[in-house]
Amino acid sequence: MSIARANEAKRIYGKDIADMTFDELKKFRAWLAREPKAELVPQPMFYLHGIPYLPSYNDKHKWVGPGTPDTRLEYTTTELLEPGSVARLSVKMLWRRSWTEEVSGWSMA
């Protein structure tokens, strides 16, 4: 659970999630389920040597691999699409990124 959710639980119930009774936790989870969910839409992604690279939320034309910011690999669109690259373009249902429509070579039409 995210820190924001934990803080919300503390604000509502006056205690940490770990200290909630079973009934309080059940009510809190029901409250969370009522929140609107972000819509998933088809978004481009790349596979490079079997590793998925997803589009960054913040940085235009940056593709982020798994791991922490200190350990993960990141590539630009140019690096992944250059001739001779073994990167494979694919599509996955993700939250919308504002810049991915600019990536040529993919479309859901």
| φ, ψ (nearest 5 deg) of residue 30 | -65, -40
pTM to 2 decimal places: 0.63
Mean pLDDT throughout 30-48? Answer: 83
Q: Where are the chain's structural domains?
A: 3-34, 40-102
- Mean pLDDT for the stretch of residues 101-108: 66
pLDDT of residue 38: 74
pLDDT tops 80 at residue 65? yes
Mean pLDDT of the chain: 84
Question: In angstroms, rounded to a whole number, what is the distance separating the alpha carbons of residues 8 and 16?
Answer: 9
What backbone phi and psi angles, to 5 degrees, belong to 76?
-95, 165
Q: What is the pLDDT of residue 106?
A: 61
Across the range 78-83, mean pLDDT stands at: 92
Q: Which whole number is the average pLDDT over 20-37?
A: 79
Rounded to whole angstroms, how far apart are CA atoms 106 and 78? Answer: 15
Only one residue has tokens 């659970």, namely: 1
